């Protein structure tokens, strides 16, 4: 059938494109204004509005340290340092000159304290942690742990074989390790006996030892098929290591937990029970035969027989516990994820949460 052209005249393409463009512009304007059903208008945030709260998974306390009967310090992510002057009863944040994550803190004496963290950051306080200054660092590697060596000395360790030291209370630092830059040596923890032996452990399964806090030599372990995250040195002979093995190695060892003890300065090593499953991040001597270890999922283990047997305790948290500090044989503190602070008054047998989510 034929229809006259004047009835079904085809609109020129140029006019159709212009009409479509106009419709799309109108639709976009309605969307932006929130005028369509089910579309909420875009909120306007005042310029002076406070920043949104930090997500709980970023609110992490990494280390806790005490000096004497009163001073306590806690380090954390996002440039966090907390201070206590009443033996841990109350804690208050202090202002620091960096926003980097801080992974470790230690007290050298009643006034001098050090903190280290991401990007090689080193902070120093000379007024018992009330104020802090940034110190020149000889490394840009992340520093995971710092420990006092006595007499104003300290050593810090970190990624890619970083080991640095100070002998003047943290004013100046120098590299101490020839293998710095080695990607297979991600040092996680360092510990010293008072004025004596020191050890550093790597998450890649390596252990290094020093008799003078300056020179470092590798230590031979029964196996390197493990991840080591913490070391605590009791004296020049006794030390304990803690960590875990990969899940695909559990069938070989019977469990995930790694607990290693030396009674002779690192010459020989013995394993604790191999059928435990917590992945450990920290370990501390409470006494010559008593230790407490903790880690992921709120796990806390305790031994009274030098590490031959370990029993779990209730932590009241499911977040990772990253550090333990010993004030006395009975008075212990632990910190971890979700801004958690735990306190024990019976040597780690029972714990109470005093802060955190």
Domain CATH for 219:
2.130.10.10
pLDDT at 5 exceeding the cut of 60: no
Q: In the chain, pLDDT over 90 holds for what percent of residues?
A: 75
- Return the H-helix or E-strand segment holding 252: helix 250-253
**How does 202-229 read in b/e, with b if 16+ C-beta sit within 10 Å?**
bbbbbbbbbeebbebeebebeeeebbbb
Q: How far apart are CA 87 and CA 292, in angstroms?
A: 20
What pLDDT is stored for residue 54 in this prediction? Answer: 54
Residue 37 belongs to some domain of the structure: no
Residue 107 belongs to some domain of the structure: yes
What token pair was written down for 142? 């992340």
pLDDT at 308 exceeding the cut of 70: yes
What pLDDT is stored for residue 184 in this prediction? Answer: 84
- Span of 125-134, 165-174, 246-255, 275-284 with lowest mean pLDDT: 246-255
Q: Collapse the DSSP code of 67 into the 3-class scheme (helix H, G, I; strand E, B; otherwise coil) and give the result.
A: strand
Q: How far apart are CA 229 and CA 319, in angstroms?
A: 17
Structural contact between residues 332 and 324, judged by C-beta atoms closer than 8 angstroms? yes
State pLDDT tens for residues 77-125. Answer: 999 999 999 999 999 999 999 999 999 999 999 999 999 999 999 999 9
Comparison of pLDDT for 296 and 70, the residue scoring more: 296
Q: Quote the pTM value.
A: 0.84
Residue 35 belongs to some domain of the structure: no
Residue 17 belongs to some domain of the structure: no
What pLDDT is stored for residue 1 in this prediction? Answer: 38
Residue 171 belongs to some domain of the structure: yes
Residue 36 belongs to some domain of the structure: no
Average pLDDT for 115-141:
98
What pLDDT is stored for residue 246 in this prediction? Answer: 86
Q: Phi first, then psi: give them for residue 268, nearest 5 degrees.
A: -130, 155
pLDDT at 186 exceeding the cut of 60: yes
What DSSP letter does each residue of 4-52 carry, written as one string?
Answer: -TTTSPPPPHHHHHHHHHHHHHHHHHHHHHT-STT-PPPPPPPTTPPPP
pLDDT at 21 exceeding the cut of 80: no
Residue 42 belongs to some domain of the structure: no
What token pair was written down for 39? 């579309």
Question: Domain residues for 132?
Answer: 61-355
Report which of 129, 136, 137, 173 is spatially closest to residue 155, judged by C-alpha positions. Answer: 173
Number of structural domains in the chain? 1
Average pLDDT for 238-261:
92
State pLDDT tens for residues 32-87. Answer: 455 445 545 555 666 666 655 555 446 899 999 999 889 999 999 999 999 999 99
pLDDT at 207 exceeding the cut of 80: yes
Average pLDDT for 214-237:
95
Q: How far apart are CA 300 and CA 310, in angstroms?
A: 10
What pLDDT is stored for residue 145 in this prediction? Answer: 98
What DSSP letter does each residue of 112-126 carry, written as one string?
Answer: -EEEEEGGG-EEEES
pLDDT at 24 exceeding the cut of 80: no
Q: In the chain, pLDDT over 70 holds for what percent of residues?
A: 83
pLDDT at 276 exceeding the cut of 70: yes
Q: How far apart are CA 136 and CA 155, in angstroms?
A: 15
Average pLDDT of the chain to the nearest whole number: 88
What pLDDT is stored for residue 140 in this prediction? Answer: 96
Structural contact between residues 167 and 193, judged by C-beta atoms closer than 8 angstroms? no
Residue 21 belongs to some domain of the structure: no
């Amino acid at each position: 059938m034929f229809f006259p052209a004047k009835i079904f005249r085809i609109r020129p393409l140029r006019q159709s494109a212009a009409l479509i463009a106009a419709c799309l512009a109108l639709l976009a304007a309605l969307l932006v204004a929130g005028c369509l059903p089910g579309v909420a208008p875009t909120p306007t945030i005042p310029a002076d509005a406070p920043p949104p709260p930090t997500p709980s998974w970023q609110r992490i306390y990494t280390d806790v340290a005490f000096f004497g009967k009163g001073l306590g310090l806690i380090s954390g992510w996002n440039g966090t340092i907390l201070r206590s002057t009443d033996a841990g009863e109350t804690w208050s944040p202090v202002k620091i000159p960096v926003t980097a994550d801080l992974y470790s803190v230690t007290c050298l004496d009643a006034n001098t304290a050090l903190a280290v963290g991401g990007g090689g950051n080193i902070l120093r306080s000379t007024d018992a942690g009330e104020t802090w200054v940034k110190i020149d660092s000889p490394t840009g590697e992340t520093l995971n742990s710092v420990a006092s060596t006595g007499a104003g000395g300290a050593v810090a360790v970190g990624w890619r074989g970083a080991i640095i030291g100070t002998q003047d209370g943290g004013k100046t630092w120098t590299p101490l390790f020839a293998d710095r830059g080695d990607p297979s040596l991600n040092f996680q923890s360092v510990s010293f006996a008072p004025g004596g032996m020191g050890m550093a452990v790597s998450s890649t399964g390596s252990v290094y030892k020093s008799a003078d806090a300056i020179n470092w030599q590798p230590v031979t372990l029964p196996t390197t098929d493990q991840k080591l995250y913490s070391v605590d040195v009791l004296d020049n002979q006794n030390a304990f290591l803690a960590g875990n093995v990969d899940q695909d190695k559990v069938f070989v060892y019977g469990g995930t937990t790694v607990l290693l003890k030396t009674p002779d300065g690192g010459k020989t090593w013995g394993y604790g029970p191999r059928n435990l499953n917590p992945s450990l991040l920290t370990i501390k001597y409470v006494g010559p035969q008593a230790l407490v270890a903790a880690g992921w999922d709120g796990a806390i283990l305790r031994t009274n027989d030098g590490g031959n047997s370990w029993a779990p305790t209730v932590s009241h948290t499911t977040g990772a516990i990253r550090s333990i500090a010993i004030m006395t044989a009975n008075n212990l503190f632990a910190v971890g994820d979700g801004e958690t602070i735990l306190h024990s008054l019976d040597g780690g047998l029972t714990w109470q949460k005093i802060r955190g989510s």
